[in-house]
Structure 1
């Protein structure tokens, strides 16, 4: 398995203001010129979102996968699949870095089911780095699945 991007929110984010924040941020982002967004995101090939599709039910549903804790405070259970977790490491003026601590926590959980589970970061990549450097993303995934070392620039956590 190849996982890219981790920023886990507390379970309380499933309800409350977080879905509204997500809904609002999409509308706010649509007011910023796309070339400026691409510049701030190091050339990531980002596209406009159809705001008619960004509904409150969708925003609430999107909160579930990014809130790893269950209501009893548990994170994921160990899994048996060999897994590589990549955490984008670059932030800057746009807070687009993933959370390395979350990647490490998931790595540690995954290792209980498969000792080959690893986590890496790349200090020059932003979330979503598959849009910033799609060729690097493809090479990294290919290397992982072919059991080869990841390309230069990745740092094991």
Structure 2
């Protein structure tokens, strides 16, 4: 069973997924509990999407909060920036595999916007170098997430 229909199976995958989705929605609507019969792809995709948006919200907080509130690690700030955006990119690519370009625009736009908004906070400073690190991290994560999603689809 596949969530997306690439057209190679004559629409069979789309019909199977529609039937499973209807079964899942009916199960929810009847007050029943969601069991293991719910399509695993839908549950996994939902978890990935929620995690992606939470990750981006966490990045926004860490980037825009006053410097004293910023969480720190033992790594350099550039490594932190790269890793955070790589994780967000990977989650968006895996959660929205059919919308990779939209995810790329979102991640790159977020990097530029967050750095620009730092100029409004007195204790922060937005720099082009920091935005570039975030963009490279985000694109790396998008690539890794897309490859992982592609491999998982091929293994099924």
TM-score by length of 2: 0.28
Return the structure number with greater strand share. 1
Which has the bigger relative contact order, CA under 8 A and spacing at least 6? Answer: 1
Return the structure number with greater helix share. 2
